[in-house]
């Protein structure tokens, strides 16, 4: 069970409004109490924070906003002392434009070795005034930015899949590979147990950098499905060599050190490429995250996931929320199409009723935590936090918001600092009241302290499920579908636990058995809509 800490928003020990590493260390016992096995920390490296730390200017130092290297060492030691493993986020696709290598590249002429570490090209048109191709940044706008050369003239263009401030490395360049091997060693030597690899499907680009037929609709496609066009910067075969080298490097270290791929690839059949025996250990199952609240669709995704990960002997993974998507306590009740990372806001039509949405989220988590494999939790979901929808425009910080002139709200709504206490400035996030994103007024209702004291709270549901999951060893079980009596009820067995999830609208009668857990308190031996139950039969 891996718990994602997004350090900016977890807990702020120095009161500057941005969470930090000492804040994480202070609260490790709360995570032990929750019942997790490992913590994955989103980036805390030195960074100008133009994409919340996913824009790294020094991979071997801690940004002062988050603390110091000593704070990182202390956190690793304190986690290990509690039996928790620590995974950190490595961001190899791009650096910050403040990285010394990129600054050197800007100061060097076209064709120089410094430029060859990134992807610089001449523009098209008589004066090179058009970008080298038609690729669109994931955050909106062109994927190319033109530089001004040292002599003051407009010059080459550089590629950035994300923001202008995140130039992509050229991973065919041995300098880049060597640098990252050094970075991995640096953190492995400090005791980290592994890495979540950011944009693990994007490092290699098609060598010709060809135009895309429909640049506005690239999705995450690998081109393997008939309805998905191939995208020349996702899932190129050559990317796998990198991870084979990294795996070999990790295996020279004592203990079990792991690699986890953040690879948004479709269709899911391709995901197994990232977790072959000599590559990464796990990959996020974003197909599961993206599956609609529908019995048929969930059954299909669960089956596909087990088959696909199982085909290469890797554990299946499950995830419902992270720092890039609308929190599942809101998302699962949304109607309409909401592409990942686009966010929702005050003008989004048909916003769901938060109480009904939370009910559904609790059922979804109750189902997920019964499935064999590794589950990933995102900080705050154990509090049932909804997406913060009413963030004012001038508070928003996601580059997506700026690059699309507010057309896409972006991801700030899932990144608001956590409420720890129902009273006090910033609800216990710190003791000054400063907060890099404003916390909604009603967040006192979600505070950890009051939830801990309330038997039926979402926090206590998570605690109960996580402890039971460990005790019953469900993570190492398997899925057997029960004969479906009701079309909208998913019924599966893992070990001797029968898990039933009602995705329909009618209450159904439960089979005989002892109720070990239910997503909401049950009044009789029946399962209402949007409810899940674990039964020992």
91 sits near ligand BGC (criterion: CB under 6 A): yes
Backbone angles phi, psi at 508, to 5 degrees: -125, 160
Q: Which of 280, 179, 61 is nearest to 170 (CA)?
A: 179
The least CB distance from residue 323 to ligand BGC, in Å, is 6
Binding mask 250-289 for ligand BGC (x = CB under 6 A): ------------x---------------------------
Any idea how long the chain is? 537
Given a contact cutoff of 8 angstroms between Cβ atoms, the answer to whether 461 and 467 are in contact is: no
269 DSSP assignment: G
Number of helices and strands (H, E) in the chain?
A: 13, 20
292 exposure class (CB count in 10 Å sphere: 0-12, 13-18, 19+): exposed
Nearer to ligand BGC (CB atom), residue 247 or residue 403: 403
The least CB distance from residue 162 to ligand BGC, in Å, is 4
The least CB distance from residue 501 to ligand BGC, in Å, is 28
Nearer to ligand BGC (CB atom), residue 54 or residue 293: 54
The least CB distance from residue 399 to ligand BGC, in Å, is 8
Q: How far apart are CA 181 and CA 250, in angstroms?
A: 10
Chosen residue from 36, 75, 86, 199 binding ligand BGC by CB under 6 A: 199
The least CB distance from residue 55 to ligand BGC, in Å, is 7
Question: For residues 62-79, b (16+ Cβ closer than 10 Å) or e, as one string?
Answer: bbebbbeeebbebbbebb
Nearer to ligand BGC (CB atom), residue 398 or residue 530: 398
CB atoms within 10 A of CB 264: 24
Residue found by looking up tokens 């913060």 in the block: 388
The least CB distance from residue 418 to ligand BGC, in Å, is 18
Q: How far apart are CA 535 and CA 537, in angstroms?
A: 6
Nearest residue to ligand BGC, using CB? 54
Chosen residue from 71, 273, 304, 324 binding ligand BGC by CB under 6 A: 324
The least CB distance from residue 132 to ligand BGC, in Å, is 21
Chosen residue from 10, 54, 102, 234 binding ligand BGC by CB under 6 A: 54
Give the count of residues interacting with ligand BGC (CB under 6 A): 9
Q: How far apart are CA 508 and CA 502, in angstroms?
A: 8
Q: How far apart are CA 240 and CA 250, in angstroms?
A: 15
Nearer to ligand BGC (CB atom), residue 46 or residue 323: 323
162 sits near ligand BGC (criterion: CB under 6 A): yes
Nearer to ligand BGC (CB atom), residue 193 or residue 324: 324
Question: What is the bridge-based pairing of β-strands 526-527 and 514-518?
Answer: unpaired
Footprint on this chain of ligand BGC (rule: CB under 6 A): 51, 54, 91, 162, 198-199, 262, 323-324
């Amino acid at each position: 069970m891996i718990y994602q800490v997004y350090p900016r928003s977890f807990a702020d020990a120095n009161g500057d409004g941005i969470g930090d590493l000492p804040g994480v260390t202070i609260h490790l016992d709360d995570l032990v109490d929750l019942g997790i096995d490992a913590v994955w920390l989103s980036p805390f490296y030195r960074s100008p924070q133009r994409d919340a730390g996913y824009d790294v200017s020094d991979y071997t130092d801690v940004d002062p906003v988050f603390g110091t290297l000593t704070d990182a060492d202390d956190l690793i030691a304190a986690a290990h002392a509690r039996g928790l493993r620590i995974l950190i986020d490595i961001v190899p696709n791009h650096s910050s434009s403040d990285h010394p290598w990129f600054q050197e590249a800007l100061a060097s002429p076209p064709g120089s070795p410094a430029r060859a570490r990134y992807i610089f090209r001449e523009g098209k048109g008589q004066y090179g005034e058009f970008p080298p191709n038609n690729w669109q940044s994931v955050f909106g706008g062109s994927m190319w930015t033109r530089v001004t050369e040292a002599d003051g003239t407009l010059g080459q263009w550089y590629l950035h899949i994300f923001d202008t401030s995140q130039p992509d490395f050229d991973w065919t360049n041995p300098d880049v590979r060597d640098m990252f091997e050094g970075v991995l060693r640096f953190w492995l030597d400090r005791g980290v147990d592994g890495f979540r690899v950011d944009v693990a499907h994007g490092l290699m680009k098609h060598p010709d950098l060809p135009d895309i037929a429909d640049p506005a609709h690239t999705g995450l496609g690998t081109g393997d499905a008939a309805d998905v066009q191939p995208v020349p910067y996702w899932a190129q075969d050559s990317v796998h060599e990198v991870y084979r080298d990294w795996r070999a490097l990790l295996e020279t270290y004592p203990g079990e050190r792991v690699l986890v791929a953040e690879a948004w690839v479709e269709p899911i059949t391709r995901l197994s490429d990232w977790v072959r025996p000599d590559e990464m250990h796990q990959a996020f199952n974003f197909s599961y995250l993206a599956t609609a609240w529908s019995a048929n669709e969930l059954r299909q995704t669960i089956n596909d996931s087990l088959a696909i990960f199982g085909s290469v002997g890797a554990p299946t993974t499950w995830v419902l929320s992270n720092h890039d998507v609308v929190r599942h306590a809101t998302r699962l009740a949304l109607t309409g199409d909401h592409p990942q990372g686009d966010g929702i806001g005050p003008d989004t039509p048909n916003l769901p009723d938060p109480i009904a949405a939370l009910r559904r989220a609790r059922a979804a988590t109750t189902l997920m935590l019964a499935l064999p494999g590794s589950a990933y939790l995102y900080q705050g979901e154990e509090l049932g936090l909804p997406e913060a929808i009413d963030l004012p425009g001038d508070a928003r910080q996601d580059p997506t918001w700026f690059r699309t002139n507010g057309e896409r709200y972006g991801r700030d709504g899932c990144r608001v600092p956590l409420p720890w206490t129902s009273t006090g400035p910033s609800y216990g996030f710190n003791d000054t009241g400063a907060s890099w994103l404003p916390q909604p007024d009603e967040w006192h209702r979600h505070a950890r302290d009051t939830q801990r004291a309330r038997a039926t709270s979402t926090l206590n549901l998570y605690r109960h499920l996580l402890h039971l999951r460990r005790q019953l060893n469900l993570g190492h079980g398997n899925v057997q579908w029960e004969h479906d009596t009701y079309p909208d009820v998913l019924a599966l067995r893992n070990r001797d636990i029968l898990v039933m999830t009602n995705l329909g609208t009618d209450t159904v009668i439960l089979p005989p058995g002892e109720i070990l857990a239910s997503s909401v308190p049950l009044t009789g031996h029946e399962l209402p809509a949007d409810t899940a139950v674990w039964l020992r039969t």
